[in-house]
Chains A and B, each alone.
Chain A
Amino acid sequence: MQTFFQQVINGLSLGSIYALLALGYTMVYGIIKLINFAHGDIYMIGAFWGYYVINQYHVDFGVALVSAMAVSAILGMVIEYLAYRPLRHSPRITALITAIGVSYFLENGMSFLFGANTRNFPQVIGQARYTFFGVTITNIQLLIVAVALVLMVGLQLIVQHTRMGTAMRAVAVDQEAAELVGIDPNHIISFTFGLGSALAGAAGVLIGLYYNSIDPLMGMVPGIKAFVAAVVGGIGSIPGAAIGGFLIGLLETFVQAIGLSAYKDAAVYIVLIIILIVLPAGLLGKNVKEKV
């Protein structure tokens, strides 16, 4: 029972990271139907920014987190403006290939500029362990889950209760109709990229602190897993992405705990395929009937 709860704690920490990333995927996909392959690389840039400011300016964790979120948000908006906006009315597969191109560019650009080696993330917060009934939890795990939850609640408030959020939902439902009532879709899409990228940047700093190592290719696999989490939760649904993220994190941790760590990626994809077949729109997605 102790190991069970221990794995739940580990799974929730990892799941928080996936959930933060999945939110960015789901918002972007919900609004322009693009799998933003470069999203995982924005998470990498967030981690590198945190590494840089902490080492260079000796800032504390809070400053590193907030500045990484700001830098990632600006980067996400610039990428959207330069690479995706010109393709707004092109076939979707073209935009997808462009996103893959942006992803390659960020990964290899970072490798070229700063080297492809793995580096240690500075441990700005001294690790402390707390043990309750034999279950160990570190302060970093608590911090990850807490930051993730605060950001998710904040996002939900922005999307549900601000004018900008209302406009985002309007563009996601019907872009032309939103334009008719005076919403500028370009403005809203840019804002969406900013929000999603900020969350990815935060996830990058958190994972740096948790795993203590970062490298230019660190965004590839978590990026794909987070997209899987978004699909499992129901694409376009913000609570769905959060649930999907935690689910994938828990699943991975448990498969690893029962000694099948070689198959942990396969388990994620098997669950994905089963959920897509049983619930084609994901757990919380709306099932749209096709009409003639």
Chain B
Amino acid sequence: MQAKWKAALIWLVLAVAGFYLINELIVVGVINAFIENMLVTIGINIILATGLNLIIGFSGQFSLGHAGFMAIGAYATAIITQQISNTLGFYLSLGVGMVIAMLVAVVIGIPTLRLRGDYLAIATMGAAEIIRVVINNLKITNGAAGMYNIPALANWPTVYVFVCLTTLMIVNFARSRAGRAIQAIREDEIAAEAVGINPTKWKLAAFVMGAATAAIGGSLHAVYIQTIAPSDFGIMQSISLLIIVVLGGVGSITGTFVAAIVLGVLDTALQQFGALRMVIYALALILIMVFKPSGLLGRYEVSIKGLLERKGGHHGTTDSHEVE
């Protein structure tokens, strides 16, 4: 069997095994409602942060506006499930949210992606704030009070499946021809352009893709938390997603998983400290960054295919190459 199919099969088995492990732990009672809540929050953060990592880590575009796209997904779900409050309505709203988020990403991306580095960050942050202010003033979104009583249409298995799906989608995108194009642009835009890669097109593609996953995360957030308000999707939300990406290692999907889990557990463990919680959190953040500036994992990725190849004695190709 080809190594890539073998690796894919192993990942599938691992994903199913993880599902059953969590399921069993809930049945046995090791995972109580409190921990289950933590796991779901971590899962939603993984969905949001992997999308952001695609934009920041792989295409090298510094976006600080992820919460805006998350808000679009969350509000699409909240509004549509008010009318159709069943699972079908949820999936419909998920799709609608993704499409709107992608359209908005195109509208925002075409002018702003010409900017670089911190200027792009500030422009995307501004764009996300504009989205938030608009939501804050619309009637259909119930203004600053937000929307509540959103039907609970997602539980942990839904979130688990979506974590797997979005990760699969993003990893495959990053390793495809498109992914190599955006990584070439990240390394050197002018050189990439010289070999026939259209920078605007591919940067936009990564941005739109990231926006779509943010909308998925937002939809899941809405039906899981059941209450949303415009203030949930402010600059602080974008920053906390950015923290996950940078803490895990910019450009490492594995790192994003590790950081989302570490921060989720840290956050839950610090609940007992009350007001001191955020002080400790801030100190932990500063210390990790000062002593581990490239993030917890740098650009390291767990690759089963890589492991298989090393064992099987194939000549050492890295995992981004095709194995014939």
Q: Which of chain B's residues have a CB closer than 8 A to the CB of A153? A: none
Chain A CB within 8 A of B88 CB: no
User: Residues of A contacting B121 with CB < 8 Å?
Assistant: 35
Specify which chain B residues have a CB less than 8 angstroms from the CB of A258 in the assembled complex. none
From B130, B285, B294, contact of A269 by CB (8 A): B130
Report whether B290 and A83 are in contact in the complex, using a CB–CB cutoff of 8 Å.
Answer: yes
Q: Determine if B137 and A262 form an interchain contact, defined as CB atoms under 8 angstroms apart.
A: yes
Known A112-B279, A276-B123, A277-B112: A94·B133 in contact at CB below 8 Å: no
Q: Is the CB of B281 within 8 A of A104?
A: yes
Cα distance A280–B56 when bound, in Å? 20
Q: Which of A91, A112, A224, A277 contacts B250, CB < 8 Å?
A: A91
* Stretch binding the partner chain, chosen from B26-34, B79-87, B211-219, B240-248: B240-248
Which residues of chain A from 117 to 158 have any CB-CB distance to chain B below 8 Å in the complex?
none
**Are B126 and A269 neighbours in the complex by a CB distance under 8 Å?**
yes
**Which residue from chain B places its CB closest to the CB of A269 in the assembled complex?**
B126
Q: Are A262 and B133 in contact, with the CB atoms below 8 A?
A: yes
B282 contacts partner chain A, Cβ-Cβ < 8 Å:
yes
CB distance from B250 to the nearest CB of A (A): 6
Most chain A CB inside 10 Å of its own CB: which residue of B56, B115, B285, B289: B289
Structural contact, A112 and B289, CB atoms closer than 8 A: no
Q: Are A100 and B136 touching (Cβ within 8 A)?
A: no
Q: Inside 8 A of A104's CB, which chain B residues have their CB?
A: 278, 281-282, 285
Query: Would you call A227 an interface residue if the criterion is a C-beta within 8 Å of the partner chain's C-beta atoms?
Result: yes
- Minimum CB–CB distance from A233 to chain B (whole Å) comes to 13
Q: Which residues of the other chain, A, contact B294 by a CB distance below 8 angstroms?
A: 90-91, 94
Q: Are A266 and B134 in contact (CB under 8 A)?
A: yes
0/1 interface trace, chain A 71-110, chain B, CB 8 Å (1 if under): 0000000000001001100111111111011101101110
Report if A228 contacts B (CB, 8 A): yes
- A residues 267-291 in Cβ contact with B at 8 Å: 268-270, 272-273, 276-277, 280, 290
B130 near A270: Cβ-Cβ < 8 Å: yes
Given A94-B289, A231-B119, residue A269 in contact with residue B129 (CB < 8 A):
yes
* CB–CB A100/B239 < 8 A: yes
A97 touches which of B130, B136, B243 (Cβ 8 Å): B243
User: Would B190 and A93 count as touching, CB distance under 8 A?
Assistant: no
Residues of chain B with a CB closer than 8 A to A97's CB: 242-243, 246-247, 285, 289
Q: Is the CB of B286 within 8 A of A105?
A: yes
Is the Cβ of B250 less than 8 Å from the Cβ of A108?
Answer: no
Asked if A265 and B281 make an inter-chain contact with CB atoms under 8 angstroms apart, the answer reads no
* Chain A residues within 8 Å of B279, by CB: 105, 108-109, 112
With an 8 A cutoff between CB atoms, is A5 at the interface?
no
A268 smallest CB distance to B (angstroms): 8
* Minimal beta-carbon separation of B88 from chain A (angstroms): 35
Smallest CB gap from A290: residue in B:
B190
Contacts of B220 in A (CB 8 A): none
Give the most central of B56, B122, B133, B295: most A CB within 10 Å. B122
CB distance from A102 to the nearest CB of B (A): 6
**From B111, B275, B276, B290, contact of A87 by CB (8 A):** B290
* A93 partner residues in chain B, CB cutoff 8 A: 56, 62, 246, 250
Which residues in window 200-229 of B have CB below 8 A to A? none
Please pick, from A35, A98, A111, A292, the residue contacting B289 in the complex, using a CB distance under 8 A.
A98
Residues of B within 8 A of A272 (CB): 122-123, 126
Do A276 and B119 touch (CB < 8 A)? yes
Q: Do A105 and B282 touch (CB < 8 A)?
A: yes
List the B residue with the shortest CB-CB distance to A106.
Answer: B282
Instruction: Digitize B231-242: 1 where CB-to-A-CB distance is under 8 Å, 0 elsewhere.
Output: 000010001001
Residues of chain A whose beta carbon lies under 8 Å from any beta carbon of chain B: 29, 33, 35, 83, 86-87, 90-98, 100-102, 104-105, 107-109, 111-112, 224, 227-228, 231, 262-263, 265-266, 268-270, 272-273, 276-277, 280, 290, 292
Q: Which 7 A-B pairs have the closest CB atoms?
A: A269-B126, A90-B293, A104-B282, A108-B278, A105-B282, A101-B285, A266-B133
8 other A-B residue contacts (CB within 8 Å) besides A91-B294, A97-B246 = A91-B250, A98-B290, A101-B285, A108-B278, A112-B276, A265-B133, A269-B129, A276-B112
Q: List 25 A-B contacts (CB under 8 A).
A: A35-B118, A35-B122, A87-B289, A87-B290, A92-B118, A94-B289, A96-B246, A97-B246, A100-B239, A101-B282, A102-B282, A104-B285, A108-B275, A109-B282, A228-B122, A262-B137, A265-B133, A266-B129, A269-B129, A272-B126, A273-B123, A276-B119, A276-B122, A277-B112, A280-B114
